[in-house]
Structure 1
Amino acid sequence: MDKNADNRIRAVEETLAHLTRVTDDLNEVIARQDAEIAILTRRVEMLMRFAAEQQAEAEGSIPLADQRPPHW
């Protein structure tokens, strides 16, 4: 092979290595965000249940989830 072909192959290999590293880094970020979203979703569900229970215990009130929005 000539020197020009070797340089081009080396450049392609370097680019591929860089893209592989970026892909791996992004995969780690996505996995971490997925775990955080799952935790936050469970917390929101717990808060919604707690708020519904609090409203159910209040006298004569309609649970917020069953009320129409004010613009209706």
Structure 2
Amino acid sequence: MIDSQAARIDSLESHIAHQDRTIEELNEVVLAQREDIRRLERRLDKLMSRVATLEDQAPLPDNAPPPHY
């Protein structure tokens, strides 16, 4: 009886250790993704600013149909 309880406790401790490691790995992935998202947001902001500047410098033509329509 004692051996089966000890084996069960060992199994549970092992399971918890694996879960803890998995949680740590997932947390590292989430943190890396957060940094990637922040970097991409900064790049997007810069690109949007550049597009706005280009549109101000050379406005897009009207989308009127050509005269032969």
* TM-score, normalised via structure 1 length: 0.79
Matches within 5 A, 1:24-39: 24-39=24-39
The aligned amino acid for 2:42 is: R
Unaligned runs of 5+ in 1: 63-72
After the TM superposition, list the runs of 4 or more consecutive aligned residues in structure 1 that deviate by more than 4 angstroms: none
| 1:52 aligned onto 2:63 | no
Match of 1:3 in 2: 3
The structural deviation recorded for 1:51 is 0.2
The aligned amino acid for 1:8 is: R
Greater relative contact order: 1 or 2 (C-alpha under 8 angstroms, separation 6 or more)?
1
Across the two proteins, how many residue pairs are aligned to each other?
A: 61
Identity %: 33
CA RMSD of aligned residues (A): 1.4
The aligned amino acid for 1:42 is: R
CA distance in structure 2 between the aligned counterparts of 1:2 and 1:12, rounded to whole angstroms = 15
The structural deviation recorded for 1:36 is 0.7
Match of 1:23 in 2: 23
CA distance in structure 2 between the aligned counterparts of 1:53 and 1:25, rounded to whole angstroms = 42
CA distance in structure 1 between the aligned counterparts of 2:16 and 2:40, rounded to whole angstroms = 36
